A and B are shown apart, each in its own frame.
Chain A
Amino acid sequence: MSGTNTQLSTVGKSMVMTDARTKIVGLGKYADDLSVPGMLIGRILHSPHAHARILSIDASRALALPGVVAVATGKDAPTPYGILPIGHDECVFAVDKARYIGDNVAAVAATSAEIAEQALDLIRVEYEPLPAFFDPEESMKAESNWIHESRANNIEKEYHHVFGDPEVGFRQADFVAEQRYFAGEVNHAAMEPHSTLAIWEANEHMTVYSSTQVPYYLHRTISEVCEMPMSQIRVIKPLIGSGFGGKSEVIPLEIAASVLAKKTKKPVKITYTREEVFYTHRGRPRTIVDLKMGITREGKIAAVEARVVQDGGAYCGFGPVTVLYSGALLGAIYDVPAVRYDGYRVLTNKPACGAMRGHGTVNVRFAFESMLDQLARQAGLDPADVRRKNLLKAPCITVNGLRVTSYGLPECIEKVVARSGWNAKRGKLPYGKGIGIACSHYVSGAANPIIRSNMPHTTVNIKIDRDAVVTVYSGASDIGQGSDTMQVQIIAEVLGVRPARVKLISADTELTPIDLGSYSSRVTFMAGNACIDAAKKMREQIFAVVSETLASKPDELECVDEVIRKKNAAGQGISFEEGVALAIDRHEALSSQGTYSPPEEARGGKFKGAGVGPSPSYSYSAQVAEVTVDPATGHVCVDKIVAAHDCGKALNPMAVEGQVIGSVYMGFGQAMQEEMIWHGGRLMNPSLLEYRIPTTLENPEIECIIVESEDPEGPFGAKEAGEGSLAATIPAIANAIFDAVGVRIATVPFSPEVVLDAIKKKQKLAGTNGRPGDKDFAGGNGSSGGAA
């Protein structure tokens, strides 16, 4: 592994976030907290039509309103953009037609928010409504009025992959199940609504503060759309009120504020309302999963087949990546010999979906783990045992070409089985009480960049001056997950100094080298390794000079607790500060650079779509959920979830626990109560009052167990912790519901209506009244919820 784990002094110990003290006194600045003299406020005009040609826009009355400085429309910025090179299909303001209710049509910059809002009402837009598509399976049949002319039948992308021989596999299977699963659309609901402040500077320069997870991609996109060289644009990421993927592609307001700033030559700030956040969306798509799986009598998975349809909304966004992740991660957690995958990303006249925590894997994992549980019971086997029988043996390559270097899943399963009292409880709880198990995994960053290039995925610079402050310049974006702290810990560890000596400057395109962004759980693995690289190079420079003073060779030295000395020679040596002074006298200035690029072997196969799924390393999770189901109402109370997560090495255990528990919480929300509800193209619940993320009252007790498999290439053995646990939560709850009342729920969320309906159908079928003993459900799949 990179770094060495002998006698760690900072890494591996819980450390308070470096920015925590700023945040808890209210001094931390998020984008909307910023203001500058002369700042204008921007507001965006959204389409009231789901699909309509824009015939004309008349902004003259708005422009005549005192206080209005500018109105921007599609003509001001007609260059299409998108996060993927293959998906440049959105313009900041609709040029020819609006493609969803909420699509961006124009924007106003005014001297106050009130005036800007009044001005929106004065813009006259003439629309010609077009037929609109809201259901993906209907949309796929469309022969005209396609949402994008270049996307026939409204299919953004489709992929068809076969690995191994599914036909042979199904012939060898003793138990085969088939089922259609539905998962509702969910939103990140980060507490901070998006906000951007674009400041027009002298000499045709622009500085943009924005709530982004991806400053580098934002930098590029502003350059393209505003037709300004990147060298004249500076993007700064202030504190971010979390992202979960909702800020991981360029969001319309970021470009709108930039366009208005360029047009007015003034600072312009736009902050979304919560309603706009929901209509901008980019969350997890509503997904239909038709799954077929076969297992042998012994519980070995023989073959898996999935057809996945994702309701992608009106623009490409991350869409092709989402649907590819759904296929790539379908069978790769276990030793599955044969997989067939047909994935469709379909356009509909709704806001674009995108990346959300557990990107692409969550809904297929729900289906997969539910069906595995069902087959285990049909075979009369313990669902935990069935998972044990299908484990990979790392290092290995999965059936679809993913390289697995470390694999803590076996330990995760054993830990949650022991901790939850699985063996004592499974099948033995009274009617209405149940326990369920499920597993999940996730990438530690994508091995292939979004925009193909040979550039390192992360670069980190270190500078040490006469004050002996270790200043780190990193493009990695802390969005609340603690990546700044992680980098400080690693640099302090490698240099042998106290964390307080390390000062991190992050995510400012004018100061910090490029990091691709905070998405796909890449930062710990990639920026962490770049930090090790940079710190080792810095240490070499200092040791080279100090070794002369200490009459030894550089490789005989170590720095422990800020004393540079011969290895294991406590009490002798010179201070880090003295060492820095000696080195500066020799080198004039101390600086170093570290980078990280995933190794060639980690980049996956060569087939179409092979670029998504490969990662330098994968995290693993196992969870056990316990529930109480009220058979009279269908209400499910999740009593407790025990989650074990293999993060390789917990660099900051307190932060890892926060990430794992937070992931389980978000999975719980999707499982039980979150869903964006559509009436045609209109969102019925675009607020936190009606889109109900769990409060302290619903949220179950969540216990986190950290498993450390020490990845050979991870920084100090670390891999991802922030996303992988989410996907196991939903099926663990579903399987617990089955254990409690004997019904399979195939529709997420598991609302009382869906659960009650399933219970009633089962009772009708069995002619019973849900009496105790009704839980065993051998044979048949008892599925329900598919008719929704």
Chain B
Amino acid sequence: MKKQAIRLRVNGDDVEVGVAPARLLLDVLREDLGLTGTKRGCDDSSCGCCAVLIDGVPILACAALAASYEGCEITTIEGLGAASALDPVQEGFVECAGAQCGFCTPGFMITTVALLKRNPNPSLDEIREALSSNLCRCTGYMQIYESVKFAIEKHQRESEHAAGIPAGARR
């Protein structure tokens, strides 16, 4: 199939790649751009391992044609957090053992980042609902919930700090 040049914006960088029209975003990320943090766990968009953010919304890169996402802001696991600091979600997955084998972890973190963006203080039921798009075979999910709660609290501390509320005055 004839290739065409497309321009993508991935993790804040503009990149140009030559792709066949049917080429999946997942393959472009992993093979053309070397961003292997996004994983392939299934054949039929059922596992969530390949979730990436498209303009802040989680999308399964295994079911997305790369050429459809020109002009969008694509964020992969490699683009989470700042250069010098982890995103609180990443910290949560480290500190609370939300990652065991780590293969599903990028997808879970992408989904969690999007959840906390639209709902900074979700209930456990809301967390479960949001994360039901992703499969994990290691953790039994309990430590993933802990990881998400860690991130929620960290976010809250940071926003309180930014608003000048002293730490002792919380609750």
Cα–Cα, bound, A664→B143 (Å): 13
A190 touches B101 (CB 8 A): yes
Cα–Cα, bound, A696→B139 (Å): 11
Cα–Cα, bound, A480→B143 (Å): 14
A26 touches B101 (CB 8 A): no
CB 8 Å contact bits of B7-50 with A (1 = contact, 0 = none): 00000000000000000000000110001111111111011010
B141 touches A699 (CB 8 A): yes
- CB neighbours of A553 from chain B (8 A): none
Q: Does A13 contact B (CB under 8 A)?
A: no
Q: A24's contact among B41, B99, B135, B139, by CB below 8 Å, is which?
A: B99
Given the contacts A24-B86, A26-B78, A241-B39, A664 and B99 also touching, CB distance less than 8 Å: no
Q: A695's contact among B30, B99, B132, by CB below 8 Å, is which?
A: B132
Q: What secondary structure prevails in chain A residues at the interface with B?
A: loop
- CB neighbours of A189 from chain B (8 A): 137
- Output the least CB separation between B62 and chain A (Å): 11
A480 touches B102 (CB 8 A): yes
Cα–Cα, bound, A758→B102 (Å): 41
B94 touches A687 (CB 8 A): no
CB 8 Å contact bits of B119-156 with A (1 = contact, 0 = none): 00000000111011011111111111000000000000
Stretch in contact with the other chain, from A2-10, A385-393, A464-472, A655-663? A655-663
Q: Does A65 contact B (CB under 8 A)?
A: no
A17 touches B36 (CB 8 A): no
- Output the least CB separation between A724 and chain B (Å): 15
Q: Does B106 contact A (CB under 8 A)?
A: yes
Stretch in contact with the other chain, from A28-36, A449-457, A567-575? A28-36
A192 touches B101 (CB 8 A): yes
In the complex formed, the residue of A with least CB distance to B90 is A24
- CB neighbours of A244 from chain B (8 A): 137
Cα–Cα, bound, A193→B138 (Å): 14
CB 8 Å contact bits of B51-89 with A (1 = contact, 0 = none): 000000000000000000000000011101100001000
- CB neighbours of B135 from chain A (8 A): 191, 688, 693, 695
Q: Does A601 contact B (CB under 8 A)?
A: no
A702 touches B100 (CB 8 A): no
A662 touches B106 (CB 8 A): no
- Output the least CB separation between B57 and chain A (Å): 19
Q: Does A665 contact B (CB under 8 A)?
A: yes
A32 touches B40 (CB 8 A): yes
Cα–Cα, bound, A588→B49 (Å): 49
A275 touches B100 (CB 8 A): no
Cα–Cα, bound, A239→B100 (Å): 11
Q: What secondary structure prevails in chain B residues at the interface with A?
A: loop
Q: Does B97 contact A (CB under 8 A)?
A: yes
In the complex formed, the residue of A with least CB distance to B133 is A695
Given the contacts A24-B93, A662-B138, A687-B43, A242 and B132 also touching, CB distance less than 8 Å: no
Cα–Cα, bound, A29→B143 (Å): 23
- CB neighbours of B39 from chain A (8 A): 30, 191-192, 241
Size bracket of the A interface: 35 or more
Q: B143's contact among A21, A240, A657, A663, by CB below 8 Å, is which?
A: A657
- Output the least CB separation between B48 and chain A (Å): 9
Q: A665's contact among B35, B97, B139, by CB below 8 Å, is which?
A: B139
Cα–Cα, bound, A441→B52 (Å): 41
Q: Does A551 contact B (CB under 8 A)?
A: no
B90 touches A25 (CB 8 A): yes
Given the contacts A191-B137, A665-B141, A696-B141, A23 and B44 also touching, CB distance less than 8 Å: no
A28 touches B102 (CB 8 A): yes
B101 touches A696 (CB 8 A): no
In the complex formed, the residue of B with least CB distance to A669 is B137
Cα–Cα, bound, A735→B166 (Å): 52
A240 touches B101 (CB 8 A): yes
Cα–Cα, bound, A689→B31 (Å): 25
A666 touches B137 (CB 8 A): yes
Q: Does A363 contact B (CB under 8 A)?
A: no
Q: Does A274 contact B (CB under 8 A)?
A: yes
Given the contacts A29-B36, A191-B49, A17 and B99 also touching, CB distance less than 8 Å: yes
In the complex formed, the residue of A with least CB distance to B95 is A16
A192 touches B103 (CB 8 A): yes
A661 touches B42 (CB 8 A): no
In the complex formed, the residue of B with least CB distance to A244 is B137
B103 touches A696 (CB 8 A): no
- CB neighbours of A699 from chain B (8 A): 140-141
- Output the least CB separation between A353 and chain B (Å): 18
Q: Does A19 contact B (CB under 8 A)?
A: yes
With a 10 A CB-CB cut-off, give which of B81, B101, B109, B129 has the most chain A CB atoms. B101
Chain A stretch 593-637: residues in CB contact (< 8 A) with chain B: none
With a 10 A CB-CB cut-off, give which of A35, A244, A482, A696 has the most chain B CB atoms. A696
- Output the least CB separation between A673 and chain B (Å): 13
Q: Does A684 contact B (CB under 8 A)?
A: no
With a 10 A CB-CB cut-off, give which of B102, B106, B141 has the most chain A CB atoms. B102
- Output the least CB separation between A414 and chain B (Å): 23
- Output the least CB separation between A186 and chain B (Å): 12
Cα–Cα, bound, A655→B99 (Å): 10
B42 touches A274 (CB 8 A): yes
- CB neighbours of A275 from chain B (8 A): 43
Given the contacts A26-B77, A697-B132, A274 and B37 also touching, CB distance less than 8 Å: no
CB 8 Å contact bits of A681-706 with B (1 = contact, 0 = none): 00000011100010111010110100
- Output the least CB separation between A732 and chain B (Å): 15
A25 touches B78 (CB 8 A): yes
In the complex formed, the residue of B with least CB distance to A193 is B41
A658 touches B36 (CB 8 A): no
- CB neighbours of B76 from chain A (8 A): 26
- CB neighbours of B80 from chain A (8 A): 25
B142 touches A687 (CB 8 A): no
In the complex formed, the residue of B with least CB distance to A481 is B100
In the complex formed, the residue of B with least CB distance to A689 is B46
- CB neighbours of B36 from chain A (8 A): 26, 29, 32-33
CB 8 Å contact bits of A219-250 with B (1 = contact, 0 = none): 00000000000000000000111101000000
B140 touches A697 (CB 8 A): no
- CB neighbours of B38 from chain A (8 A): 26
- Output the least CB separation between B25 and chain A (Å): 16
- CB neighbours of B144 from chain A (8 A): 696
Cα–Cα, bound, A25→B81 (Å): 9
A20 touches B94 (CB 8 A): yes
Given the contacts A696-B131, A699-B141, A655 and B97 also touching, CB distance less than 8 Å: yes
Q: Does A295 contact B (CB under 8 A)?
A: no
- CB neighbours of A479 from chain B (8 A): 101
**Apart from the given pairs A25-B81, A26-B106, 19 other A-B contacts in the complex at a CB distance below 8 Å:** A24-B93, A26-B36, A28-B102, A32-B40, A188-B137, A191-B49, A191-B136, A239-B101, A240-B101, A241-B102, A241-B104, A274-B43, A274-B44, A480-B103, A687-B44, A688-B46, A689-B42, A696-B144, A697-B132
Contact surface of A with B, Cβ cutoff 8 Å: 16-17, 19-21, 23-30, 32-33, 35, 188-193, 239-242, 244, 273-275, 479-482, 654-655, 657-658, 661-666, 687-689, 693, 695-697, 699, 701-702, 704
- List, sorted by A's number, 11 A–B pairs whose CB atoms are closer than 8 Å: A20-B102, A23-B102, A24-B77, A25-B77, A32-B40, A191-B47, A242-B137, A654-B97, A665-B140, A689-B44, A695-B131
7 smallest CB-CB distances across A and B, nearest first, come from A26-B37, A480-B101, A665-B140, A241-B103, A23-B102, A26-B77, A33-B36
